[in-house]
Structure 1
Amino acid sequence: MEFYISALVLGLCLSAMGLGIFITMKIFRIPDITTDGSYTLGAAVTAVALTQGWTLSATLGLTLLSGAVAGVMTGLVHTRLKIDALLAGILVMTGLYSVNLSVMGRSNIPLINLETIFNKLSIFSRSVYNELWVGLLFLFILSGLIAYLLRTDFGIAMRATGNSESMTRALGINNDRMKIIGLAIANALTAISGFLVAQYQNFSDINMGIGIVLVGLGSVLIGDALINWIGIRNIWLQLLTVMLGCILFQMVLAVALSVGVNPNFLKLITALFVLIIVGIPRLARRRKH
């Protein structure tokens, strides 16, 4: 049972990244690959700050800032240099590998015997329940904050920018600025996932972000399928559904491991799972036509 709870907690930790990818992919229609680098950056900054004796609140603030800066860099490359968003994300992600390695100073930093967010906010005697509680706390706080943001005039302008740039430009909205801010928010959320996962795993590793964008993309696609299937219109419920997609994604991997699948094939299973999620709706639409 604890094995599945651990998968649930990991899904909760990654749900912030799911929100970030939801903002870039569903709101701005931007395939942002910066995620792989900003996720590791969040974990790297967290590990270094905690080992240097920083408080958790200061570490969280620094992590948010570092992720936002990564997003701003992608936004500037895309909007100022007029480089395709996908290529801009790849360029920044590639550069972040060296940045992350410089921040950490080595490839791996253990966080054993350090105070983490999970034991700082502990209210249960068993650690697994404390981890679950903290994960749920972050899920509701982050989804509530982003839902509130998207309901404000600024958030509506962000959503309008993704729907029709020509219309928002006619209304006097600076589309480039909106994209930069949106990418900054998205990558700050992704860095929060790195912040949580590093403390949950008790280590930060330079390669922990490789392929993580596929996990986030699959989670958003699961959430999007549920949103369309159920017909959810409330923005907060949509965000919660996307975060639920992160949890379901991790539970699928947990089930695969529990039935004896070789861990070496997990990345393959991840890719096939995303392919199925993307492919089935398209095949269904073709049959209707």
Structure 2
Amino acid sequence: MLSNIAFYGALETGLIYGLVAFGIYLSFRVLDFPDLTVDGSFPLGAAVAAMLIIAGWNPWLATGAAILAGMAAGAVTALLNVKLKILNLLASILTMIALYSINLRIMGRPNVALLMEDTVLTPWYNLGLEYHQVSVLLFTLVIGATLFLLWRFMKSEIGLAMRATGANARMARAQGIATGGMIILGVAVSNGLVGLAGALFAQSQGAADVTMGVGVIVIGLASLIGGEAVITPTSVFRALLACVVGAIIYRLAIAFALNADVLGLKAQDLNLITAVLVTLAIVLPGARVSLMNKFKRRKA
């Protein structure tokens, strides 16, 4: 069984990775744009927020700057693809590699501590809640507001144009939609959400590290695919909700696996657990449909 601290810690991290899953949903599902920039924009958001907080900025303003930095990184990837005609996957890899050096430049060293600094969480500690419950409450509000805003955006005229671009770019262009602009905007917003996640993660963990983005794309995909296996994404709202649910389930599954003594798993097995969970999330829905079809044929 999980302790209270481990349970709330899994919820906290799951909510943060829900923002990453939102970003990956926009790029992978809406735009059909495989984007690995997130492995660089996650620590970019953390680095920008951390350095601005240390410089005396208001934590919320620093977090807003992290979102803009993430959007700029995403826009660079999209511009490489749209304007220079570089393959989208390769463009994202180039940006991701460049961001490693940029993040080191921003921080001036591999990691920066925030343990003695005020963060977005600091005022919430006066509510009388347990220390580990504060971040869960705040991040729930943040992800709820983000989900609502994304849902409204995807139902707007621009959002519909973006969805049309991902579904059929040639048809969208025939309808007068500037598909290049939609790709740039969509990938920028996607990485802005990842930058927000990185900023919140750094403030909740008390540090920003240049390597903290390694594997974020896999975690986001695991959350997205796992959530879609639980909640069928028949609408935009359900798809966004699936991102959050998938991220929380993923982190709880990781926490249970690492805390179950009978399994004998340790922290170094995290990537193995992730690979198994993603495989199950991909295979199980198809296996379930296959079994249901066999059952129907037998009844017939």
**After TM superposition, is the score higher than 0.5?**
yes
Residue 79 (structure 1) aligned with residue 82 (structure 2):
yes
Residue 10 (structure 1) aligned with residue 17 (structure 2):
no
Out of 224, 241, 264, the position equivalent to 2:268 is 264
- SS of the aligned residue for 1:245 comes to helix
Q: How far 1:57 moved relative to its partner?
A: 2.4
Q: Please give the per-residue CA displacement for 1:154-182, whole angstroms capped at 9, x wherever unaligned.
A: 11111111111111100110111100100
- SS of the aligned residue for 1:3 comes to helix
How many residue pairs get aligned? The number is 286
- Mind listing any 5+ residue stretches in structure 2 that lack a counterpart? 295-300
Whole-angstrom CA distance in 2 between matches of 1:124 and 1:77: 49
Structure-2 residue corresponding to 1:27: 30
Residue 36 (structure 1) aligned with residue 39 (structure 2):
yes
Q: How far 1:286 moved relative to its partner?
A: 6.7
Residue 226 (structure 1) aligned with residue 230 (structure 2):
yes
**Worse-matched range after superposition: 236-245 or 204-213:** 236-245
Whole-angstrom CA distance in 2 between matches of 1:106 and 1:97: 12
1:124–1:130 contact (8 Å) kept in structure 2: no
Note the 1:1-289 alignment, pairs <5 A: 1-122=4-125, 123-228=127-232, 232-260=233-261, 261-283=265-287
- SS of the aligned residue for 1:117 comes to coil
Whole-angstrom CA distance in 1 between matches of 2:49 and 2:64: 10
Whole-angstrom CA distance in 1 between matches of 2:109 and 2:240: 36
- SS of the aligned residue for 2:229 comes to helix
1:8–1:132 contact (8 Å) kept in structure 2: yes
- Mind listing any 5+ residue stretches in structure 1 that lack a counterpart? none
- SS of the aligned residue for 1:109 comes to strand
Structure having the higher Rg: 2
> In the alignment, residue 67 of structure 2 is paired with which amino acid?
L
- SS of the aligned residue for 2:121 comes to helix
1:119–1:130 contact (8 Å) kept in structure 2: no
Whole-angstrom CA distance in 2 between matches of 1:157 and 1:171: 10
2:64–2:196 contact (8 Å) kept in structure 1: no
Q: How far 1:282 moved relative to its partner?
A: 4.3
Q: How far 1:121 moved relative to its partner?
A: 3.2
> In the alignment, residue 118 of structure 2 is paired with which amino acid?
E
Q: Please give the per-residue CA displacement for 1:65-113, whole angstroms capped at 9, x wherever unaligned.
A: 1000000000011111111111111110011000001101001111102
Could you tell me the TM-score, scaled by structure 1's length?
Answer: 0.95
- SS of the aligned residue for 1:204 comes to strand
Percent identity over the alignment is 34
- SS of the aligned residue for 2:231 comes to helix
1:42–1:193 contact (8 Å) kept in structure 2: yes
Q: What RMSD, in angstroms, separates the aligned Cα atoms of the two structures?
A: 1.6
Could you tell me the TM-score, scaled by structure 2's length?
Answer: 0.91
Q: How far 1:207 moved relative to its partner?
A: 0.6
Whole-angstrom CA distance in 2 between matches of 1:268 and 1:156: 38
